[in-house]
Chains A and B, each alone.
Chain A
Protein backbone atom coordinates (compact mmCIF):
# COMPACT_ATOMS: atom_id res chain seq x y z
CA UNK A 1 0.00 0.00 0.00
CA UNK A 2 1.66 3.23 -1.08
CA UNK A 3 -1.22 5.69 -1.34
CA UNK A 4 -4.55 6.09 0.38
CA UNK A 5 -6.66 7.71 -2.30
CA UNK A 6 -9.96 5.90 -2.07
CA UNK A 7 -11.56 3.28 0.13
CA UNK A 8 -12.28 1.43 -3.09
CA UNK A 9 -8.55 0.58 -3.31
CA UNK A 10 -8.63 -1.29 0.00
CA UNK A 11 -9.63 -4.89 0.52
CA UNK A 12 -11.73 -5.92 3.50
CA UNK A 13 -8.59 -7.41 5.07
CA UNK A 14 -6.59 -4.22 4.62
CA UNK A 15 -9.37 -2.19 6.25
CA UNK A 16 -9.31 -4.69 9.11
CA UNK A 17 -5.54 -4.42 9.50
CA UNK A 18 -5.65 -0.63 9.65
CA UNK A 19 -8.35 -0.82 12.33
CA UNK A 20 -6.44 -3.47 14.31
CA UNK A 21 -3.25 -1.43 14.37
CA UNK A 22 -5.31 1.57 15.44
CA UNK A 23 -6.28 -0.30 18.62
CA UNK A 24 -2.62 -0.36 19.72
CA UNK A 25 -2.18 3.25 18.65
CA UNK A 26 -5.17 4.19 20.78
CA UNK A 27 -3.28 2.80 23.77
CA UNK A 28 -0.34 5.07 22.96
CA UNK A 29 -2.72 8.01 23.08
CA UNK A 30 -3.58 7.17 26.69
CA UNK A 31 0.05 6.90 27.77
CA UNK A 32 2.05 9.57 29.47
CA UNK A 33 4.84 9.38 26.89
CA UNK A 34 3.05 9.72 23.58
CA UNK A 35 5.95 9.09 21.28
CA UNK A 36 7.00 6.21 19.07
CA UNK A 37 10.22 6.20 17.09
CA UNK A 38 8.61 4.41 14.15
CA UNK A 39 8.75 7.14 11.50
CA UNK A 40 11.90 8.87 12.65
CA UNK A 41 13.57 10.69 9.81
CA UNK A 42 10.50 10.68 7.58
CA UNK A 43 8.96 13.93 6.40
CA UNK A 44 5.24 14.44 5.99
CA UNK A 45 3.66 17.51 4.42
CA UNK A 46 0.10 18.42 5.29
CA UNK A 47 -1.05 20.15 2.12
CA UNK A 48 -4.44 21.72 2.81
CA UNK A 49 -5.97 23.77 0.03
CA UNK A 50 -9.24 23.80 1.96
CA UNK A 51 -10.01 24.62 5.58
CA UNK A 52 -9.91 21.88 8.18
CA UNK A 53 -9.55 21.59 11.94
CA UNK A 54 -9.89 17.96 12.89
CA UNK A 55 -8.32 16.25 9.93
CA UNK A 56 -5.31 18.49 9.71
CA UNK A 57 -4.56 18.62 13.41
CA UNK A 58 -5.06 14.90 13.88
CA UNK A 59 -2.81 14.03 10.95
CA UNK A 60 -0.22 16.40 12.33
CA UNK A 61 -0.43 14.94 15.83
CA UNK A 62 -0.34 11.41 14.40
CA UNK A 63 2.84 12.19 12.49
CA UNK A 64 4.49 13.89 15.45
CA UNK A 65 3.68 11.06 17.86
CA UNK A 66 5.37 8.68 15.46
CA UNK A 67 8.46 10.93 15.30
CA UNK A 68 7.99 12.03 11.70
CA UNK A 69 8.72 15.64 10.82
CA UNK A 70 5.42 17.22 9.86
CA UNK A 71 5.00 20.50 8.05
CA UNK A 72 1.77 22.29 7.25
CA UNK A 73 1.14 24.12 4.00
CA UNK A 74 -2.06 25.84 3.00
CA UNK A 75 -3.22 27.37 -0.25
CA UNK A 76 -2.99 30.80 1.32
CA UNK A 77 0.50 32.05 2.06
CA UNK A 78 2.17 29.82 -0.52
CA UNK A 79 3.01 30.32 -4.18
CA UNK A 80 -0.45 28.99 -5.00
CA UNK A 81 -1.74 32.50 -4.29
CA UNK A 82 0.81 33.88 -6.76
CA UNK A 83 -0.75 31.73 -9.45
CA UNK A 84 1.54 28.72 -9.43
CA UNK A 85 -0.13 25.65 -10.85
CA UNK A 86 -0.94 22.69 -8.63
CA UNK A 87 1.46 20.55 -10.61
CA UNK A 88 4.38 22.92 -10.15
CA UNK A 89 3.62 23.40 -6.47
CA UNK A 90 3.53 19.72 -5.60
CA UNK A 91 6.51 18.88 -7.81
CA UNK A 92 8.48 21.58 -6.01
CA UNK A 93 7.64 20.12 -2.64
CA UNK A 94 8.31 16.58 -3.89
CA UNK A 95 11.74 17.68 -5.10
CA UNK A 96 12.66 18.56 -1.53
CA UNK A 97 12.51 14.85 -0.76
CA UNK A 98 9.39 14.48 1.35
CA UNK A 99 8.06 10.99 2.04
CA UNK A 100 4.37 11.72 2.15
CA UNK A 101 1.87 14.39 1.24
CA UNK A 102 -1.48 14.52 2.95
CA UNK A 103 -3.68 16.44 0.57
CA UNK A 104 -7.01 18.17 0.94
CA UNK A 105 -8.26 19.87 -2.18
CA UNK A 106 -11.54 21.31 -3.40
CA UNK A 107 -11.27 19.46 -6.70
CA UNK A 108 -12.38 15.83 -6.76
CA UNK A 109 -9.50 13.64 -7.90
CA UNK A 110 -6.72 16.12 -7.09
CA UNK A 111 -4.86 13.70 -4.76
CA UNK A 112 -5.00 10.93 -7.37
CA UNK A 113 -3.61 13.35 -9.93
CA UNK A 114 -0.83 14.42 -7.57
CA UNK A 115 0.06 10.75 -7.03
CA UNK A 116 0.83 10.58 -10.76
CA UNK A 117 3.08 13.61 -10.62
CA UNK A 118 5.19 12.75 -7.58
CA UNK A 119 7.17 9.90 -6.04
CA UNK A 120 5.93 10.23 -2.49
CA UNK A 121 3.01 8.55 -0.74
CA UNK A 122 -0.24 10.47 -1.09
CA UNK A 123 -3.05 10.44 1.43
CA UNK A 124 -6.38 11.83 0.36
CA UNK A 125 -7.59 13.99 3.26
CA UNK A 126 -10.75 14.99 1.42
CA UNK A 127 -11.10 15.89 -2.24
CA UNK A 128 -14.11 17.92 -3.35
CA UNK A 129 -17.25 15.81 -3.32
CA UNK A 130 -15.34 12.60 -3.95
CA UNK A 131 -13.85 10.86 -0.91
CA UNK A 132 -12.48 11.25 2.59
CA UNK A 133 -11.05 7.81 3.33
CA UNK A 134 -9.40 8.48 6.70
CA UNK A 135 -12.75 9.73 8.04
CA UNK A 136 -14.48 6.55 6.88
CA UNK A 137 -11.81 4.39 8.51
CA UNK A 138 -12.10 6.20 11.82
CA UNK A 139 -15.91 6.04 11.68
CA UNK A 140 -15.75 2.31 11.05
CA UNK A 141 -13.19 1.92 13.84
CA UNK A 142 -15.40 3.86 16.29
CA UNK A 143 -18.50 1.89 15.32
CA UNK A 144 -16.67 -1.42 15.55
CA UNK A 145 -15.36 -0.64 19.01
CA UNK A 146 -18.95 -0.08 20.23
CA UNK A 147 -20.95 -2.53 18.13
CA UNK A 148 -18.42 -5.30 17.48
CA UNK A 149 -18.01 -6.76 13.99
CA UNK A 150 -19.99 -4.62 11.56
CA UNK A 151 -21.01 -7.55 9.37
CA UNK A 152 -24.80 -7.53 9.17
CA UNK A 153 -25.17 -4.38 11.28
CA UNK A 154 -27.67 -1.84 10.03
CA UNK A 155 -26.35 1.68 9.62
CA UNK A 156 -28.28 4.71 8.38
CA UNK A 157 -26.43 7.63 6.83
CA UNK A 158 -28.49 10.80 7.02
CA UNK A 159 -28.00 14.33 5.76
CA UNK A 160 -26.60 16.31 2.87
CA UNK A 161 -25.55 13.32 0.79
CA UNK A 162 -25.12 15.05 -2.56
CA UNK A 163 -22.16 17.12 -1.47
CA UNK A 164 -20.66 14.68 0.98
CA UNK A 165 -17.29 13.06 0.42
CA UNK A 166 -17.67 11.48 3.85
CA UNK A 167 -20.72 9.65 2.53
CA UNK A 168 -18.90 8.16 -0.44
CA UNK A 169 -15.99 6.85 1.59
CA UNK A 170 -18.21 5.61 4.39
CA UNK A 171 -20.55 3.82 2.06
CA UNK A 172 -17.65 1.96 0.43
CA UNK A 173 -16.06 1.17 3.76
CA UNK A 174 -19.22 -0.04 5.51
CA UNK A 175 -20.26 -2.12 2.53
CA UNK A 176 -16.78 -3.67 2.38
CA UNK A 177 -17.16 -4.63 6.03
CA UNK A 178 -20.52 -6.25 5.35
CA UNK A 179 -22.80 -3.69 7.01
CA UNK A 180 -26.28 -3.00 5.67
CA UNK A 181 -26.53 0.66 4.79
CA UNK A 182 -29.58 2.87 4.28
CA UNK A 183 -29.17 6.39 2.94
CA UNK A 184 -31.70 8.95 4.14
CA UNK A 185 -31.99 12.49 2.76
CA UNK A 186 -34.47 14.87 1.21
CA UNK A 187 -34.79 14.11 -2.53
CA UNK A 188 -32.92 17.32 -3.33
CA UNK A 189 -29.90 16.24 -1.30
CA UNK A 190 -29.80 12.66 -2.58
CA UNK A 191 -27.05 12.17 -5.20
CA UNK A 192 -28.49 11.98 -8.70
CA UNK A 193 -28.64 8.52 -10.20
CA UNK A 194 -28.76 7.02 -6.71
CA UNK A 195 -31.08 4.27 -7.91
CA UNK A 196 -28.58 2.53 -10.16
CA UNK A 197 -25.76 3.08 -7.65
CA UNK A 198 -27.86 1.50 -4.90
CA UNK A 199 -28.51 -1.48 -7.14
CA UNK A 200 -24.81 -2.07 -7.93
CA UNK A 201 -23.51 -1.62 -4.40
CA UNK A 202 -26.62 -3.09 -2.75
CA UNK A 203 -27.69 -0.52 -0.23
CA UNK A 204 -31.11 0.98 0.55
CA UNK A 205 -32.44 4.46 -0.06
CA UNK A 206 -35.17 6.09 1.99
CA UNK A 207 -36.77 9.51 2.32
CA UNK A 208 -38.47 8.74 5.63
CA UNK A 209 -36.17 8.95 8.64
CA UNK A 210 -38.87 7.90 11.14
CA UNK A 211 -39.40 4.62 9.33
CA UNK A 212 -35.68 3.78 9.28
CA UNK A 213 -34.68 4.64 12.85
CA UNK A 214 -36.38 1.75 14.71
CA UNK A 215 -34.18 -0.76 12.87
CA UNK A 216 -30.73 0.82 13.05
CA UNK A 217 -27.66 -0.19 15.03
CA UNK A 218 -26.08 3.16 14.26
CA UNK A 219 -27.10 6.41 12.68
CA UNK A 220 -24.46 8.52 11.02
CA UNK A 221 -25.53 12.16 10.80
CA UNK A 222 -23.77 14.24 8.15
CA UNK A 223 -23.40 17.97 8.22
CA UNK A 224 -25.81 20.18 6.32
CA UNK A 225 -23.68 22.82 4.80
CA UNK A 226 -25.31 26.08 5.81
CA UNK A 227 -23.42 27.88 3.10
CA UNK A 228 -25.60 26.05 0.60
CA UNK A 229 -28.91 26.98 2.21
CA UNK A 230 -29.69 29.66 -0.34
CA UNK A 231 -29.13 27.17 -3.13
CA UNK A 232 -32.73 25.94 -2.99
CA UNK A 233 -31.98 22.46 -1.69
CA UNK A 234 -34.61 22.90 1.01
CA UNK A 235 -36.90 25.80 1.89
CA UNK A 236 -35.81 26.61 5.45
CA UNK A 237 -33.49 25.28 8.11
CA UNK A 238 -36.48 24.68 10.32
CA UNK A 239 -38.19 22.52 7.76
CA UNK A 240 -35.03 20.45 7.38
CA UNK A 241 -34.67 20.05 11.14
CA UNK A 242 -38.29 18.91 11.47
CA UNK A 243 -38.13 16.36 8.67
CA UNK A 244 -34.53 15.10 8.82
CA UNK A 245 -32.96 16.36 12.05
CA UNK A 246 -32.13 13.92 14.82
CA UNK A 247 -34.45 15.42 17.41
CA UNK A 248 -35.26 14.22 20.92
CA UNK A 249 -38.43 12.62 19.57
CA UNK A 250 -36.49 10.68 16.94
CA UNK A 251 -33.87 9.68 19.50
CA UNK A 252 -36.66 7.80 21.28
CA UNK A 253 -37.46 5.86 18.10
CA UNK A 254 -34.00 4.29 18.00
CA UNK A 255 -33.25 0.97 19.70
CA UNK A 256 -31.50 1.49 23.03
CA UNK A 257 -28.21 0.00 21.90
CA UNK A 258 -28.02 2.11 18.73
CA UNK A 259 -25.26 4.71 18.56
CA UNK A 260 -24.96 8.14 16.90
CA UNK A 261 -21.99 9.47 14.97
CA UNK A 262 -21.29 12.82 13.33
CA UNK A 263 -18.05 13.67 11.57
CA UNK A 264 -18.30 17.28 12.73
CA UNK A 265 -18.50 20.18 12.71
CA UNK A 266 -22.07 19.85 13.99
CA UNK A 267 -24.90 22.27 13.33
CA UNK A 268 -26.74 21.88 16.60
CA UNK A 269 -30.46 22.36 16.11
CA UNK A 270 -30.24 21.64 12.40
CA UNK A 271 -29.24 18.09 11.52
CA UNK A 272 -28.66 17.09 15.11
CA UNK A 273 -30.34 18.33 18.30
CA UNK A 274 -28.42 19.02 21.47
CA UNK A 275 -30.25 16.06 23.02
CA UNK A 276 -28.85 13.71 20.42
CA UNK A 277 -25.38 15.24 20.25
CA UNK A 278 -24.90 14.96 24.01
CA UNK A 279 -26.73 11.67 24.45
CA UNK A 280 -24.92 8.81 26.14
CA UNK A 281 -25.14 6.92 22.83
CA UNK A 282 -23.43 9.73 20.91
CA UNK A 283 -19.91 8.82 19.77
CA UNK A 284 -18.95 12.26 18.49
CA UNK A 285 -16.01 12.68 20.86
CA UNK A 286 -14.98 9.02 20.50
CA UNK A 287 -14.67 9.75 16.79
CA UNK A 288 -12.33 12.65 17.40
CA UNK A 289 -10.25 10.58 19.78
CA UNK A 290 -10.13 7.67 17.33
CA UNK A 291 -9.10 10.09 14.60
CA UNK A 292 -5.53 10.33 15.82
CA UNK A 293 -5.15 6.59 16.42
CA UNK A 294 -6.54 5.64 13.03
CA UNK A 295 -4.37 8.20 11.29
CA UNK A 296 -1.29 6.89 13.08
CA UNK A 297 -2.21 3.47 11.80
CA UNK A 298 -2.61 4.84 8.26
CA UNK A 299 0.84 6.47 8.41
CA UNK A 300 2.33 3.23 9.73
CA UNK A 301 0.81 1.13 6.97
CA UNK A 302 1.84 3.51 4.20
CA UNK A 303 5.33 4.41 5.40
CA UNK A 304 6.65 1.16 6.81
CA UNK A 305 7.24 -2.07 5.01
CA UNK A 306 9.27 -3.12 2.04
CA UNK A 307 9.38 -0.74 -0.88
CA UNK A 308 7.78 2.11 1.03
CA UNK A 309 8.62 5.36 -0.67
CA UNK A 310 12.12 6.81 -0.48
Chain B
Protein backbone atom coordinates (compact mmCIF):
# COMPACT_ATOMS: atom_id res chain seq x y z
CA UNK B 1 0.00 0.00 0.00
CA UNK B 2 2.71 2.49 0.79
CA UNK B 3 6.34 3.05 0.16
CA UNK B 4 8.29 1.87 3.14
CA UNK B 5 6.52 -1.09 4.56
CA UNK B 6 6.98 -3.03 7.72
CA UNK B 7 5.16 -6.37 7.86
CA UNK B 8 2.08 -4.70 9.31
CA UNK B 9 2.25 -1.89 6.78
CA UNK B 10 3.76 1.39 7.88
CA UNK B 11 1.91 4.68 7.61
CA UNK B 12 2.80 6.83 4.61
CA UNK B 13 5.79 8.78 5.87
CA UNK B 14 5.63 11.59 3.35
CA UNK B 15 8.45 11.05 0.95
CA UNK B 16 11.70 10.82 2.84
CA UNK B 17 14.65 9.84 0.74
CA UNK B 18 16.18 6.60 1.90
CA UNK B 19 19.73 5.43 1.97
CA UNK B 20 20.57 2.42 -0.12
CA UNK B 21 20.59 1.59 -3.78
CA UNK B 22 18.28 2.33 -6.64
CA UNK B 23 16.66 -0.77 -8.07
CA UNK B 24 14.50 0.85 -10.72
CA UNK B 25 15.49 4.24 -12.11
CA UNK B 26 13.30 6.70 -13.96
CA UNK B 27 12.94 4.86 -17.28
CA UNK B 28 12.80 1.42 -15.69
CA UNK B 29 9.53 2.23 -13.92
CA UNK B 30 7.86 3.23 -17.19
CA UNK B 31 9.24 0.20 -18.97
CA UNK B 32 7.99 -2.17 -16.28
CA UNK B 33 4.56 -0.56 -16.36
CA UNK B 34 4.35 -0.81 -20.12
CA UNK B 35 5.01 -4.52 -19.88
CA UNK B 36 2.41 -4.94 -17.14
CA UNK B 37 -0.15 -3.08 -19.29
CA UNK B 38 0.53 -5.47 -22.14
CA UNK B 39 0.26 -8.49 -19.88
CA UNK B 40 -3.07 -7.29 -18.53
CA UNK B 41 -4.41 -6.94 -22.07
CA UNK B 42 -3.00 -10.31 -23.03
CA UNK B 43 -4.50 -12.03 -19.99
CA UNK B 44 -7.89 -10.42 -20.56
CA UNK B 45 -7.77 -10.80 -24.35
CA UNK B 46 -8.34 -7.09 -24.83
CA UNK B 47 -9.67 -4.27 -22.66
CA UNK B 48 -13.27 -5.46 -22.45
CA UNK B 49 -14.78 -5.38 -18.99
CA UNK B 50 -11.59 -4.17 -17.35
CA UNK B 51 -11.71 -1.86 -14.33
CA UNK B 52 -8.50 -0.56 -12.75
CA UNK B 53 -8.67 0.21 -9.04
CA UNK B 54 -5.64 1.78 -7.37
CA UNK B 55 -4.95 1.50 -3.67
CA UNK B 56 -4.02 4.96 -2.29
CA UNK B 57 -1.70 6.69 -2.45
CA UNK B 58 0.69 5.49 -5.14
CA UNK B 59 -1.47 2.65 -6.38
CA UNK B 60 -3.92 5.25 -7.69
CA UNK B 61 -1.22 7.01 -9.67
CA UNK B 62 -0.08 3.65 -11.06
CA UNK B 63 -3.64 2.69 -12.02
CA UNK B 64 -4.07 5.90 -13.98
CA UNK B 65 -0.77 5.35 -15.69
CA UNK B 66 -1.71 1.81 -16.67
CA UNK B 67 -5.01 3.13 -18.03
CA UNK B 68 -3.12 5.62 -20.19
CA UNK B 69 -0.78 2.90 -21.47
CA UNK B 70 -3.71 0.62 -22.30
CA UNK B 71 -5.34 3.47 -24.18
CA UNK B 72 -2.15 3.91 -26.22
CA UNK B 73 -2.26 0.27 -27.22
CA UNK B 74 -5.97 -0.47 -27.60
CA UNK B 75 -7.49 2.96 -27.92
CA UNK B 76 -10.00 2.08 -25.21
CA UNK B 77 -10.61 4.11 -22.05
CA UNK B 78 -10.49 1.68 -19.15
CA UNK B 79 -12.63 2.84 -16.18
CA UNK B 80 -10.22 3.71 -13.38
CA UNK B 81 -10.80 4.49 -9.73
CA UNK B 82 -9.40 4.27 -6.24
CA UNK B 83 -10.17 1.96 -3.34
CA UNK B 84 -9.29 3.05 0.17
CA UNK B 85 -8.81 0.16 2.52
CA UNK B 86 -8.06 1.96 5.80
CA UNK B 87 -11.29 0.89 7.47
CA UNK B 88 -10.59 -2.74 6.57
CA UNK B 89 -7.05 -2.96 7.92
CA UNK B 90 -6.30 -5.49 10.63
CA UNK B 91 -3.57 -3.39 12.24
CA UNK B 92 -5.47 -0.22 13.07
CA UNK B 93 -4.72 -0.59 16.75
CA UNK B 94 -1.02 -1.17 16.19
CA UNK B 95 -0.45 2.10 14.34
CA UNK B 96 -1.19 5.75 14.94
CA UNK B 97 -4.58 6.86 13.61
CA UNK B 98 -4.45 6.84 9.82
CA UNK B 99 -5.85 9.38 7.46
CA UNK B 100 -8.67 7.92 5.42
CA UNK B 101 -8.22 8.36 1.66
CA UNK B 102 -10.97 8.52 -0.91
CA UNK B 103 -12.67 5.63 -2.61
CA UNK B 104 -13.90 6.50 -6.08
CA UNK B 105 -15.43 3.76 -8.12
CA UNK B 106 -15.90 4.32 -11.85
CA UNK B 107 -19.43 5.06 -13.09
CA UNK B 108 -20.20 1.55 -14.29
CA UNK B 109 -19.42 0.00 -10.91
CA UNK B 110 -17.62 -3.31 -10.51
CA UNK B 111 -20.41 -5.88 -10.82
CA UNK B 112 -19.46 -8.52 -13.36
CA UNK B 113 -16.24 -6.69 -14.27
CA UNK B 114 -12.63 -7.80 -14.36
CA UNK B 115 -11.18 -5.71 -11.57
CA UNK B 116 -7.43 -5.19 -11.53
CA UNK B 117 -6.25 -4.02 -8.12
CA UNK B 118 -3.13 -1.89 -8.47
CA UNK B 119 -0.60 -1.20 -5.72
CA UNK B 120 3.01 -0.12 -5.58
CA UNK B 121 4.58 -2.74 -3.30
CA UNK B 122 3.36 -6.23 -2.47
CA UNK B 123 4.78 -7.34 0.87
CA UNK B 124 2.82 -9.09 3.62
CA UNK B 125 -0.36 -9.28 1.52
CA UNK B 126 -2.44 -7.74 4.28
CA UNK B 127 -3.29 -4.65 2.28
CA UNK B 128 -4.59 -6.84 -0.54
CA UNK B 129 -6.62 -8.91 1.92
CA UNK B 130 -8.21 -5.68 3.17
CA UNK B 131 -8.82 -4.56 -0.41
CA UNK B 132 -10.60 -7.82 -1.23
CA UNK B 133 -12.84 -7.39 1.81
CA UNK B 134 -13.56 -3.80 0.92
CA UNK B 135 -14.35 -4.72 -2.68
CA UNK B 136 -17.08 -7.09 -1.51
CA UNK B 137 -18.96 -4.11 -0.04
CA UNK B 138 -19.26 -2.51 -3.46
CA UNK B 139 -20.33 -5.43 -5.57
CA UNK B 140 -19.31 -8.72 -7.11
CA UNK B 141 -16.61 -8.52 -9.77
CA UNK B 142 -16.39 -11.44 -12.20
CA UNK B 143 -12.64 -11.69 -11.65
CA UNK B 144 -10.24 -9.85 -9.37
CA UNK B 145 -6.57 -9.68 -10.28
CA UNK B 146 -3.62 -7.98 -8.70
CA UNK B 147 -0.99 -5.84 -10.39
CA UNK B 148 1.98 -4.45 -8.44
CA UNK B 149 5.04 -2.49 -9.40
CA UNK B 150 7.27 -4.34 -6.95
CA UNK B 151 6.88 -7.75 -5.33
CA UNK B 152 9.31 -7.92 -2.45
CA UNK B 153 8.23 -11.28 -1.00
CA UNK B 154 7.62 -12.17 2.67
CA UNK B 155 3.93 -12.89 2.31
CA UNK B 156 1.95 -13.54 5.49
CA UNK B 157 -1.21 -14.60 3.69
CA UNK B 158 -1.96 -16.90 0.75
CA UNK B 159 -1.95 -14.08 -1.78
CA UNK B 160 0.04 -13.59 -4.97
CA UNK B 161 0.24 -10.99 -7.71
CA UNK B 162 -0.92 -11.72 -11.26
CA UNK B 163 1.16 -8.96 -12.80
CA UNK B 164 4.49 -7.87 -11.37
CA UNK B 165 6.66 -4.99 -12.58
CA UNK B 166 9.73 -6.18 -10.75
CA UNK B 167 10.41 -9.09 -8.45
CA UNK B 168 12.70 -7.81 -5.75
CA UNK B 169 14.30 -10.24 -3.32
CA UNK B 170 14.64 -8.46 0.01
CA UNK B 171 15.45 -9.19 3.60
CA UNK B 172 12.36 -8.81 5.73
CA UNK B 173 13.88 -5.92 7.66
CA UNK B 174 14.94 -3.97 4.59
CA UNK B 175 12.82 -1.11 3.40
CA UNK B 176 11.55 -0.54 -0.10
CA UNK B 177 10.60 2.94 -1.24
CA UNK B 178 8.66 3.70 -4.40
CA UNK B 179 8.70 7.26 -5.69
CA UNK B 180 6.44 8.34 -8.53
CA UNK B 181 6.46 11.55 -10.53
CA UNK B 182 2.75 12.29 -9.81
CA UNK B 183 3.16 11.95 -6.06
CA UNK B 184 6.78 12.67 -5.29
CA UNK B 185 8.06 14.66 -8.25
CA UNK B 186 10.65 12.09 -9.25
CA UNK B 187 10.70 8.45 -10.05
CA UNK B 188 12.62 5.52 -8.62
CA UNK B 189 12.44 2.37 -6.53
CA UNK B 190 15.06 2.14 -3.83
CA UNK B 191 15.96 -0.56 -1.39
CA UNK B 192 17.36 0.58 1.91
CA UNK B 193 18.97 -0.67 5.06
CA UNK B 194 16.81 -1.83 7.96
CA UNK B 195 15.41 0.71 10.34
CA UNK B 196 14.18 4.22 9.83
CA UNK B 197 14.63 5.47 6.30
Contact = CB atoms under 8 A, between A and B. Distances in A.
A243 to B, nearest CB: 45
Contacts of A31: 137-138
Interface string B61-98: 00000000000000000000000100110001111111
A301 B97 contact: yes
Interface in B32-86: 84
B87 A37 contact: yes
Contacts of B93: 304-306, 308
Contacts of B97: 1, 17, 300-301, 304-305
B88 A306 contact: no
Interface residues of A, number: 21
B92 A305 contact: yes
15 contacts: A17-B99, A20-B100, A24-B101, A25-B100, A27-B102, A37-B88, A38-B88, A300-B100, A304-B97, A304-B98, A305-B95, A306-B93, A306-B94, A306-B96, A308-B93
B156 interface: no
Interface residues of B, number: 19
A21 B100 contact: yes
Interface string A278-310: 000000000000000000000011001110100
Contacts, number: 52
B167 interface: no
B103 interface: yes
Interface of A: 1, 17, 20-21, 23-25, 27, 31, 33, 35-38, 66, 300-301, 304-306, 308
Going nearest first, the 4 A-B pairs with the smallest beta carbon separation are: A305-B97, A304-B92, A36-B87, A38-B87
A24 B86 CA distance: 11
B133 interface: yes
B96 A305 contact: yes
A258 to B, nearest CB: 29
Contact of A24 (B88, B94, B103, B133): B103
A163 B84 CA distance: 42
A66 B88 CA distance: 10
Given A31-B138, A33-B137, 17 more contacts: A1-B97, A21-B99, A24-B84, A24-B101, A24-B102, A31-B137, A37-B88, A37-B133, A38-B87, A38-B88, A66-B87, A300-B97, A300-B100, A304-B97, A305-B92, A305-B97, A306-B95
Nearest to B93: A308
A308 B96 CA distance: 9
Nearest to A1: B97
Contacts of B84: 24
A246 B101 CA distance: 39
Interface in B98-150: 98-103, 133, 136-138
A24 B100 contact: yes
A288 to B, nearest CB: 22
B22 to A, nearest CB: 32
